[in-house]
Amino acid sequence: VFNKGAEMSAVSNIIGSLGLITRLGYLGPFPDDLMNYFTEIAFDGVDNIKSFRFLLQCLPDPYEFFEELIGRGILDYMVETINDMDITEDSYNQSSIDKQRSIQGRVEFIYLILSDLKFASEDPYFINLTFEKVKGPYHLYTRDAIIIYLTNIINPESTNLIQEIANQEILSAIDDLLAVGEEQIVISCLNFVEVLLNCYSEGFQKEPSTFPKIDIIESDILELLTVYSDQADDQIDRIVAMISPQTEE
- pLDDT, tens only, 198-241: 999 999 999 999 999 898 888 888 888 887 888 888 999 999 99
3-state secondary structure the chain: CCCCCCCHHHHHHHHHHHHHHHHCCCCCCCCHHHHHHHHCHHHCCHHHHHHHHHHHHHCCCHHHHHHHHHHHCHHHHHHHHHHHCCCCCCCCCHHHHHHHHHHHHHHHHHHHHHHHHCCCCCCHHHHHHHHHHHHCCCCHHHHHHHHHHHHHHCCCCCHHHHHHHHHCCHHHHHHHHHCCCCHHHHHHHHHHHHHHHHHHHHHHCCCHHHCCCHHHHHHHHHCCCCCCCHHHHHHHHHHHHHHCCCCCC
Q: What is the pLDDT of residue 127?
A: 92
Q: What is the pLDDT of residue 89?
A: 46
pLDDT value at 170 more than 90: yes
Mean pLDDT of 12-20: 92
pLDDT value at 14 more than 80: yes
- pLDDT, tens only, 125-163: 999 999 999 987 778 899 999 999 999 999 999 999 999
Q: What is the pLDDT of residue 78?
A: 95
pLDDT tier at 248, thresholds 50, 70, 90: very low
